[in-house]
Amino acid sequence: MRMALIMVFGMITACSGNDEPTYQERPVEDIYNQAMDKLLSGNAELAAIDFDEVERQHPYSVWARKSQLMAAYAQYLSDNYDEAIFTAQRFLQLHPGN
């Protein structure tokens, strides 16, 4: 009986894997350059995601400000006009002097 319970418990825990990707902080220049490469190759939608990642991982860097603007531009290029407007307005709220 005890062995059966151990086997059932082992099978249950083996099936409950973690499907979430592991978080990996990357250098800000790498993320930004990867986003620019995607944008220049015509993949604006994925570029916008990477530009957002720059701001998420490095919110107080100079690159974060640039990435906010580039994310809005990439969203505009990928016809996500509402997202582009929202991102641009958010940039203006966070950086009214720019």
73-96, pLDDT tens digit by residue? Answer: 999 999 999 999 999 999 999 989
* Neighbouring C-alpha atoms within 13 Å toward the C-beta of 44: 14
Q: What is the pLDDT of residue 89?
A: 96
Level-2 CATH architecture, domain 26-94: Alpha Horseshoe (1.25)
At residue 63, does pLDDT exceed 90?
Answer: yes
* C-alpha–C-alpha distance, residues 33 and 65, integer Å: 15
Residue that the structure tokens 């400000």 belong to: 65
Q: With bands split at pLDDT 50, 70 and 90, how would you rate the model's confidence at 1?
A: low
Segments making up each domain of the chain, as ranges: 26-94
